[in-house]
Structure 1
Amino acid sequence: MTYTFEALNPLKSLRGLVLIFLILSCTKSKRIIPESTGNNSKELLRVIDHFKKKDSLKYVAARFLINNMGLHYANSKTINPIPVHQAVFNEVDHQAKYNYKHELTQTKPTTNINFLKFATKTVIPKILDKAPELSVSYDTIYDVETITKNQLITHTDNAFYVWKNSRFCKNMSFQEFKHTILPYRYLDGEQLKLSTTFNRTLLHKFITVDSLNTLNKVIERFNFYVSKVRFLTGLVDFKDDLGFYNVLKWEKLSCETQANWTANILNDCGIPTEIHQTPNWLNRDGGHTWCASRDENGVYHPFSPQWQNLGDSLFYKRASKVYKKTYEEQKDTPYFIKDNKETVPKYLDTPFLKDVSDQYHNTVTLNIPIDAMPQNKNLAYLSIFASQHWKPVAWGNINKKTKTVQFDKVPVNATYIFGFFNNDVFSPVGNPFYVSKHGNRHYFNPNNNSKTTILVNEKYPQKEHLKKWLELLKGAKFTGANKPDFSDEETLYELKETPLPIVYDINITSKSRYKYARFKTQNNAVSYLSIFECFTRKAPTDSISLGTRPYITKPSDKVLAHEIKTYSKIEDIPKKWSTNNTRDNCLDGNIETFTNNFRIGLNFETPKRIDKIRFAFRNANNYVNYRDTYKLSYYDNGWKTHRVKKSKYNYLTFENLPSNTIYWLSNLTKGKEELPFIYHNSKQLFLNHDNISTYFED
């Protein structure tokens, strides 16, 4: 049973005071508040008495906070004060606001930026050397044991103040307010960060001035501020858990802690902000936590603090399921649904998750039959392929009468597999299936009576952000010249299309000789060039420098393999560059290193005829590599190994494979990024990355 204030009123005895906080002692709770909290129970009752006499709405709000306080906790508690860190923060805060203000207001900067960075390398560390060692305990500390009357009253008053005064809270209902501005905690395990006047004034004037009249401008200003704090403190080593002052070690914080810090600050400043997270991206390994803030029209917009502004919708379309971190207990979570003997994935085993996937995707409800009912289980899971295994991202409640499991808010146009969680391991059932836009399930059931042959080039698709950057290279040119200022340059080759993640081998038709060669982008875009080599036809008596091997991506390219020894690389004259110049990264023959320069020049000892140019751009090296060993598997109620091969070129051919299934190419030599795919119209289509809807008839 969950005890409420209504059920326990009047509360006259100490025993009654303790019972208030047996909110935790419902049948599914893992912890029971000890009687030693009786003294703090009195503190929290004083909060109720305070607002009951003064403000009926604040009285309801305080009851909401205390009634949902029981399961919230911190994993550490700073015992000693930290005036030194506060002094450092005050200085960094001042510099971030004052010396960078010109970038937002177009006024002239007052301090040299290099000097500021020098100061953070010398002055701040000296201040910290004098700081006493912090006394920090890392036990689990429940909020009901530590929050005082004054803290909770001050926090509630501040929350109501910004609710009534912020333009971003316009037309916000009390119900919405309870779940955004009002909570004093957004993430368990973190140190307590109750709202204070200090928090509210910290950035309030800086990010909510009248000129910043839209949410987009506010978030841009906030991200700008945090990026400058990060710049000023990036070279300083802060080892302690600094609570609020963790912003001084921003670069070392997890995305979850960054989102938590951001939500606290923005809510204190009257910008309603939630914390959203995905257990895993649909098409790559790892999850992510970010913020979503409310605009003047009541619409929430996602962003990742410091490095991403509003409007990057494609980024979040790649999230699988999306959950909101809540303050109020959610009774439909695995934490409460699970059987007493049932284990749950750790990242889903919390009472404070609310499914908001429908805010990011078109979603459907799936009802899946269960052929063999498991023992001691109330839950089943949907998983996606991530990090070389199936990872649960959604739970469903098993209906034992109908022998089905229902999954709500399932994103469409994605591939999943259904199964159970046993002893901390996901056990898939049957074969994976694709969920169409209409909610139909299309199973990948292999057809062993219809064999197929496939040609593969990649174990993982080209990354979208890299592809987006490389699109900017259209129109870039390779040129030759005989004057060092390139005033006499001639175009040798121009990029007409977005380049692929391969080493290109381009024949040059010019018969002229050049002492210099150069690659330059349009509009000073970053080149991301990882290979840049020029070749001349080798004379019979010449020695040979083979250079980087060009990619042979299909059988018709094999002629390149025979040509390799007929051309010799023209050597660049070495030159000493500044230590921060990345120019030589495109000359080291390593496709995984690249230059950030927008133009790169080569200097030959004497004028040479350039017959070929080989080049490549920044990529993750997920193409088939020459002489690496690969394994191809297919799915048939589990992964089955088809064949292991050593590559002779930058493609592999596999024959006699079952059709209508998914395949998985693994590099056994190196690399980790891999994603299953289907084979359709002689192409690899990667799951949850490429559009495979045309593969099915819905």
Structure 2
Amino acid sequence: MKPILYTILICTLVLACTRYPAGVEETLSQAGKNRSELEKVLRHYREHPEDSLKYQAACFLIDNMKWHLSTERAVFPDSSLFEWHTRFDSLYTNMMAIIPDTALYSDRHRERFWHFSYAARQLASVFPPDTPTIVKGTFPDPQYIPSTFLISHIENAFHVWHASPYASYLTFEQFKEMLLPYRAVTGYSFYENGQKLNDMFSKHLNKSDEKTYARFISRYDHYKDYIHQMYPYYQQLQHVGTYDMFVGQKYDCISLADNFCHVFRAYGIPTVVDCNISFRERTGRHFHCTLLDSTGKYSKYNQTRNYSASKISTAASPSFFRNTFGAQADSPFMLKAEGETLPDYFDTPCIREVTDENYRVAPVQLPIDKELSNNLVYLYTFNVSEGLAPATWGTVDHQQKKAWFKNVVYNVLYFPVYLKGDSIIPFASPFYITSPDTLYTSATFVPLYPEEPEKKGKLLLKRKYPEKTSLQYRASLMIGGRFEAANREDFKDAVLLGTIETTPILNLQELTPEICRPFRYYRYVATDSFPTSNMGLLEYLTDEYTPEDSLPPATALPVCSPEEINPNRTGKRYCTLQVDTNNYRYLRYYSAYNPNMQYSSYRKIDLMPLKRPMKVKKIRYAPANAENHIVVGHAYQLMYWDNGWKNAGTRLARYNFLQFDNVPLDRIYWLRDLTAGKEEHPFFYKDGKQLFIYHDTIVPRATEFYHIENHF
């Protein structure tokens, strides 16, 4: 009997010694043939008491590994890509031996780098590296991460945690998310661990004169840009992990942020990838990096120059989310009820909302007047592609029939909804909260609903999107620009036709020349203070022509109201003079003479050479603009909010305005351009005027944004 008891005791002790935390065991059960590799990592650190913290780190990685996967993998046919990188890296290192930070982009060194890069690219083109093959599929991390990769990665992470002055202050909990992870964005392929990346980049980052984040970023950008120039050009349109930085043309914000985060973590700088899944005024989403320093100050790295992601502006995102490696207990994935649908981006436990790091936020509670089986509700914001996009989530208090939201941003228009299958169902009126005027006042909750729901009326609409401040400013810089004419190509006999004296409107306008006689050459000359034409459309008009001239009719001046329509108008028929493209081929597709006002000329002088001298009776011009006014010939659809977007009618624009009759009043409206254009924005209609949100009403204040240093 005693031998049996001893055997049971020994077996129990052995099982107790080999058992891992529940989350780790769950991952191991999903690892398949790779289980032994993951257990090898755990045993490596558990056998030595001095590695107890590393064992905890390994458990953290393996525990949360089950939430991560890649959707594609690159198969490298040989080592040529890596061998060429080694050669280019050595060449770059020699070139950078004594160049200080301030001279990285000097003209002298830029030219020198260009010659070196050209020679390297020509050499590599003789024996170019083989293009990797991209395999699509689902590749769960537990089934593919080898022990050597993970152990080397953990060792590097601990080394830089203790050795780096930018990381040594981190707590273990901070370390686990800002330095330790081998993955920054789930779904993206990776091929190098922290040790390899540290070996690749640290020697270049260490050359920085001033050990600041801005200088490190400058060195990093310079290195990857110039190594990229050395590789021969070929189409690599799929992601190849770290080597996205050097080969191909895959420049999307996710891969840029993902690679940057890996490199800076490996070097010992706490970094995470943050994103927004919508903007207040624009379409799309954006990923960028956030860096933390020892003072608790955040910095942003955002190389795609999508300034809206981190700049104080009305185009900023209404919310920000952090990609984490560990599952977050308060994520929608963890809070949802059984069978509850989540918005696509929220369907992972590895996100954490960090809106409160960027904006001042307030909690809001809303009543729910219906029985919900969901645990979650959402605040959506306007998004032009789908009408609505998720901004933040809230939890449902079923007993009190209320929804609780933690991260409500001031002066953002929200639509409270819940999800049922694929349907987005509103449960309360749209609202916004105003920011406090002083420290002694509180925020104001402003619901938006019609006081007279049955009242209808007429709307006269002139735009689908507000005028952009940046374009208005550029137009104001055109004041002082002049129109000239001459019969000599060098304009030594030039005469002044007219000068821009006031800020041009962001549409077509007309100027009558002071002198009208035949000239062979016409031109617009920008000012010396702003030596950029900024002309989106420029037409020189005449009514003296022959059929052989084959002149197209002039673009009509805008008609922006019914009162401006004159059915009996019988003015002269002006036609547009045409550029002599036979002798001036470069003007064939020139922006200033292209009838698309969304693109502008960037030259100081817009030249219009003719085949023969002709008189100019009128000059019509328009600064570069987004053509967000009503465009003749486009089809438009008016929508209004009534527990969802409802159709108020469709119109084909005959003039530069639209009139809709018998429309429900006192609503939130959305004018859609069904023909072209992507920029559309909700508005109110008061006293015969369109009032766009974030411009004419619900306007954000600078005090609502935290100051965060940005690096571009």
Q: TM-score range by the shorter chain?
A: 0.7 to 0.9
Moved more, 674-683 or 284-293: 674-683
Quick check: 1:262–1:305 contact (8 Å CA) kept in 2?
no
Q: 1:478 aligns with which of 483, 486, 489?
A: 483
C-alpha distance in structure 2 between counterparts of 1:463 and 1:82, whole Å: 51
Contact 1:471–1:498 at 8 Å: present in 2 too? yes
Is 1:293 equivalent to 2:300 in the alignment?
no
- Higher mean displacement: 529-538 or 356-365: 529-538
Label 1:240 to 1:414 Cα distance change in 2 as closer, same or farther (>3 A): closer
Match among 342, 361, 371 for residue 359 of structure 2:
361
Alignment of 1:591-602 (within 5 A): 591-602=597-608
| One-letter code aligned to 2:338 | N
Match of 2:140 in 1: 142
CA-to-partner distance for each residue in 1:113-169, whole Å, 9 max, x for gaps? 38846974x6545534x73865x6544333334434443332223223333444433
In structure 2, C-alpha distance between the alignment counterparts of 1:489 and 1:11, rounded to whole Å: 101
How far the C-alpha of 1:615 sits from its partner, in A, is: 1.7
Stretch deviating more after TM superposition (350-359 or 289-298): 289-298
Kindly indicate whether residue 488 of structure 2 is the aligned counterpart of residue 455 of structure 1. no
The answer to whether residue 73 in structure 2 is matched with residue 49 in structure 1 is no
In structure 2, what is the equivalent of residue 570 of structure 1?
577
- Name the structure 2 match of 1:75: 71
Q: Which amino acid aligns with 2:603?
A: N
- 2:130 equivalent to 1:131: yes
Paired residue secondary structure (1:290)? strand
SS class of match (2:620): strand
For residues 179-202 of structure 1, give each alpha carbon's deviation from its aligned partner in whole angstroms, at most 9, with x where no partner exists.
212222111222345534441243
Which residue in 1 is equivalent to 2:279?
281
Aligned to 1:39: 36
Q: 1:571 to 1:540 in 2, by over 3 A?
A: closer
1:676 paired residue among 667, 679, 682: 682
Counterpart contact for 1:546–1:569, Cα < 8 Å: yes
Q: 1:622 to 1:195 in 2, by over 3 A?
A: same
Contact 1:446-1:636 at 8 Å conserved across structures: no
> Which stretch of the first structure deviates more once superposed, 618-627 or 103-112?
103-112
Counterpart CA distance in 1 for 2:309 and 2:692 is 26
**1:7 aligns to what?**
none
Residue 378 (structure 2) aligns with: 381
TM-score (norm 2): 0.83
Identity among equivalent positions (%) equals 25
Which amino acid counterpart does residue 42 of structure 1 have in structure 2? E
1:168-207 to 2 correspondences below 5 Å = 168-169=166-167, 171-193=169-191, 195-207=193-205
- Whether 1:508 and 2:519 are equivalent positions in the alignment is no
Contact 2:536 2:591 (C-alpha < 8 Å) held by counterparts:
yes
Q: Residue 441 of structure 1: CA displacement?
A: 3.0
Aligned residue in 2 for 1:3: none
**Aligned residue in 1 for 2:217:** 219
Question: Structure 1 residues 139 and 558 mapped into 2: Cα distance closer, same or farther (>3 Å)?
Answer: closer
Deviations 1:550-594 (A, max 9, x none): 222345654799476443333332245576x78623223333454
Aligned equivalents of 1:114 and 1:563: distance in 2?
63
Q: How does 1:452-601 map to 2 (within 5 A)?
A: 452-463=457-468, 473-495=478-500, 499-511=504-516, 514-521=519-526, 522-523=528-529, 525-536=531-542, 538=544, 545-555=552-562, 557-558=564-565, 562=569, 565-576=572-583, 584-601=590-607
Unaligned runs of 5+ in 2: 1-10, 436-442, 701-712
Instruction: Tell me the SS of whatever aligns to 2:258.
Output: helix
- CA change 1:96–1:38 in 2 (3 A) is closer
Secondary structure at 1:187 match in 2: coil
Q: How many angstroms does 1:64 deviate by?
A: 3.4
Q: Which residue of 1 aligns with 2:158?
A: 160
Letter in 2 for 1:44: V
- Give, in angstroms, the shift of residue 324 of structure 1: 0.6
Shift of 1:34: 5.3
How far, CA to CA, are the matches of 1:397 and 1:514 in structure 2?
Answer: 73
Q: 2 CA distance for matches of 1:157 and 1:474?
A: 62
User: 1:13, 1:340 → 2: CA distance?
Assistant: 38
**Structure-2 change in CA distance of 1:684 and 1:362 (3 Å):** farther
Moved more, 104-113 or 513-522: 104-113
Q: Distance in 1 between matches of 2:179 and 2:13?
A: 33
Partner-residue secondary structure (3-state), 1:447: coil
Match of 2:406, SS state, is: strand
CA spacing shift, 1:110–1:516, aligned 2, 3 Å: closer
Give the aligned residue type for 1:127. Answer: F
Counterpart AA for 1:662? I
Once the 2 structures are TM-superposed, how far is the Cα of residue 345 of structure 1 from its aligned partner? 1.5
| Partners of 2:634 and 2:673 within 8 A in 1 | yes
2:446 to 441, 445, 452: 441
Distance 2:367 2:298 in 1: 36
Match for 1:419: what amino acid?
A: V
CA shift in 2, pair 1:573/1:453, >3 Å: same
Structure 1 residue runs of 5 or longer lacking an equivalent are 1-9
Q: CA deviation at 1:631?
A: 2.5
SS at structure 2 position matched to 1:440: strand
Give the direction of change, closer, same or farther, for the CA distance of 1:113–1:371 in structure 2 (3 Å limit): same
Q: Report the counterpart of residue 341 of structure 1 in structure 2.
A: 339
How far, CA to CA, are the matches of 1:170 and 1:568 in structure 2? 72
- In structure 1, C-alpha distance between the alignment counterparts of 2:584 and 2:237, rounded to whole Å: 35
Question: How big is each residue's C-alpha offset from its partner over 1:190-246, in whole Å with a ceiling of 9 and x where there is no partner?
Answer: 234553444124333434434244323333443344444555569411256423212
Shift in CA distance, 626/41, structure 1 to aligned 2, threshold 3 Å: closer
The answer as to 2:82 corresponding to 1:86 is: yes
**Does the 8 A contact of 2:281 with 2:314 survive in 1?**
no
Deviations 1:585-604 (A, max 9, x none): 32233334544433211123
1:607-656 Cα shifts (integer Å, max 9, x gaps)? 54433221223333332111333232322223333333332211123344
| 1:440-489 Cα deviation digits (max 9, x unpaired) | 13213363465554332212234566556556545444333444233454
TM-score, scaled relative to structure 1: 0.84
Root-mean-square deviation (CA, aligned residues, Å) is: 3.9
How far apart, in 2, do the equivalents of 1:204 and 1:471 lie? 47
Kept in 1: contact 2:486–2:494 (CA 8 A): yes
In the alignment, residue 574 of structure 2 is paired with which amino acid?
Answer: Y
- Cα separation, 1, equivalents of 2:561 and 2:269: 55
After superposition, the Cα gap between the structure-2 partners of 1:576 and 1:339, relative to the gap in structure 1 and judged at 3 Å, is farther
How far apart are 1:657 and its partner, in Å?
3.5
CA distance in 1, matches of 2:474, 2:269: 32
Structure 2 CA distance for partners of 1:478 and 1:140, relative to 1, 3 Å: same
Choose 41-50 or 365-374, whichever is displaced more.
41-50
Give the secondary-structure state (helix, strand or coil) at the position aligned to 2:325: coil
Residues 205, 679 of structure 1: alpha-carbon distance in 2 compared, 3 angstrom cutoff: farther
For residues 211 and 133 of structure 1, the distance between their equivalents in structure 2, rounded to whole angstroms, comes to 37
Moved more, 88-97 or 62-71: 88-97
Q: One-letter code of the match for 2:557?
A: P
Q: Which range moved further: 620-629 or 355-364?
A: 620-629
Which residue identity is paired with 1:71?
A: W
Amino acid paired to 1:597:
R
> 8 Å contact 2:161–2:179 — kept in the other structure?
yes
Distance in 2, matches of 1:105 and 1:203, equals 22
Contact residue 24 and residue 70 of structure 1 kept, 8 A? no
Contact 2:337/2:375 (CA < 8 Å) preserved in 1?
yes
Kindly state the Cα deviation for residue 430 of structure 1 after the two structures are TM-superposed: 4.6
